[in-house]
Amino acid sequence: MVMQFSSDADSLASFGDIKISYNPNYFTFSGASLLIGTDKKKEPFRAEDSQPAGTVTLFWADPDGEYIPIEGNNSLVSLSFKSKDEGKGIFEILSATGFSDKDLQKIHVSFETELEIEVKKPVQKSNNNSLQSLQVSPGTLQPTFNPSVQSYTMTVSQDTTKVSVSAVPADSTASVTSISGNSKLVPGNNTIKVVVTAENGETRTYTIVAKKPAAAPTPEVTPTPEATPTPEATPTPEPTPTPPVTVILPDGPYQIVEVPQGVHPPEGFYRSVEQIDGQMVPVYKSMRADFTLYYLYRDSVDDGFYYRDSKSGEYLPYLTLSVPAQTLTVVTPDESVTIPDSWTPTVLTLDGKKLPAWKTSQLTESVYLVYLMDSNGNQSFYRYDTQSQMLLPYDIEEVKETKPTEAITPSMAPEPSEEPEPAKANPWALATAVMGLICLALVGVLIWQGSRGRRDIGEDDDQVLPPPPIKRI
């Protein structure tokens, strides 16, 4: 704790006594030191502690009878205390007297007289940076994995170029921060490193040496001696390739790589690059929306395109749903999107992939609510029926539909013939039926008006008309 004071004086020749109180239940006084003047001038400084009362008294006077120049705000004394227990303690300046300048004139000084400090025990973070399991494919580890053993060996065949490594931390607060050296294997020893970081930041590295045999040389026919060729310049050795960036998914680590041969980016996406963990990686960006895909690889059935959820930071599979002339991308709504009332979160599985969805008890079991993005980047909710495979823009009025109640069959009625199950309500079909009824009503009104007009004309024909007037010529 540093004690500061403010004064209009330009010099300080002495001060004291200054009495400072503290709570001895929470603190123990360790010492104090003068912060102004030379080492020689600091020698007369004294700090006396009264432990039971919790009071520290400070004194100082210039040993040469001179002074120390000061100006404005000044740091005067540093006091050190040790905390004994959790709680709030108050430090208070009870008195501050004896301040004088070079002419031994009294100096008026001002202090912040009270300071409250709360002591809390530090939160202990886990230092567990070991692994619970470590597996490789193809091949096996030698010796068998043990969390306390950090070095292993394995043997791979001549045609193996990559080893898949699966590492699971023993502590849920720890994480596997990198897996390197497991691809582009060359004949000889290849060092694979798995780095685990504990919650407190401490790291541990597990090392696997993958031994790959060299190809047996093909015996050649002894060539006819030729003239000694001119020696060529020794080629410059190429730099060791940088291993791909690794990301951790719930089922293990994946690498961000270029799309394999025969695989093409989705329509409307173009190749680009961006920086991840200080390394440039290939990405595929939408031409019309702010949407980026990554190709994640681990030599499994789940290899493919993924996107990064802006809300959780997780990598999620890139999935699409199609309607005539348009393909819609499955995305996760951000925090600004409001989920419609009565819909609860669930998971919809399509083609073995799980995507976020919602269900409501007010519609049939086959109806799901999904959040999709069109090719222009517009995002909204859609209603998807897994039974009819229909995908329609979501209308909030749809949830007001009620399920029909089951009719009670009279006991004496004849057994009805089996009829096909009625089709589920379709809002577009209902609108078409209503418009058809309106058109029929209009045609009926026109026919009625026409028949009425003809009847009126017939009644007029039955009346005897008077003879025309006789004109004389």
pLDDT, tens digit (0-9, with 9 covering 90-100), for 295-344: 999 888 889 999 988 878 889 898 887 766 677 888 888 888 888 988 89
The first and second tokens of residue 374, run together, are 């069109």
> How many angstroms separate the CA atoms of 118 and 135, rounded?
48
From 12-16, 214-218, 440-444, 450-454, the region with the lowest mean pLDDT: 450-454
Rg of the chain taking only CA atoms, in angstroms: 44
Q: Which helix (H) or strand (E) holds 391?
A: strand 390-393
Token pair of 439 as six digits: 């058109």
Q: Which pLDDT band, with edges at 50, 70 and 90, does 397 fall under? A: low
Q: Does residue 403 register a pLDDT over 50?
A: no
432: Cβ contacts below 8 Å, ≥ 6 apart: none
Confidence of residue 455 (pLDDT cuts 50, 70, 90): low
442/220: higher pLDDT:
442
pLDDT confidence tier of residue 410, bands split at 50, 70 and 90: very low
Cα separation, 145 vs 353, whole angstroms: 32
Average pLDDT, the chain: 81
- Separation of first and last alpha carbons in the chain: 139
294 pairs with which residues across the strands? 306
Helix %, strand %, coil % for the chain, to 5? 10, 40, 50
- Domain ranges (residues) in the chain: 2-119, 131-212, 246-318, 326-400
Q: What is the mean pLDDT of residues 40-54?
A: 83
Residue type, position 269, single letter: F
In the prediction, which pLDDT does 38 show?
76
Overall CATH class of domain 2-119? mainly beta
How far apart, in whole angstroms, are the C-alpha atoms of residue 127 and residue 220?
A: 59
Mean pLDDT of 228-247: 71
Which position has the higher pLDDT, 105 or 210?
210
**More confident site: 120 or 254:** 254
% of the chain beyond a pLDDT of 70: 82
Average pLDDT over every residue of 131-145: 94
Q: Give me the pLDDT at residue 414, please.
A: 43
Higher-pLDDT residue of 65, 304: 304
Q: Residue 352: is it exposed, middle or buried by C-beta count within 10 angstroms (0-12/13-18/19+)?
A: exposed
Kindly report whether the peptide bond that precedes residue 467 is cis, defined as omega within 30 degrees of 0.
no
Pull the structure tokens for residue 207.
């090392």
Hunting for tokens 């007010």 — which residue is that? 362
Weakest mean pLDDT among 79-88, 198-207, 208-217, 426-435: 426-435
Closest CA to 35 of 27, 47, 26, 23: 47
The answer for residues whose C-beta is within 8 angstroms of residue 220's C-beta and 6 or more apart is none
DSSP 3-state assignment of 14? strand
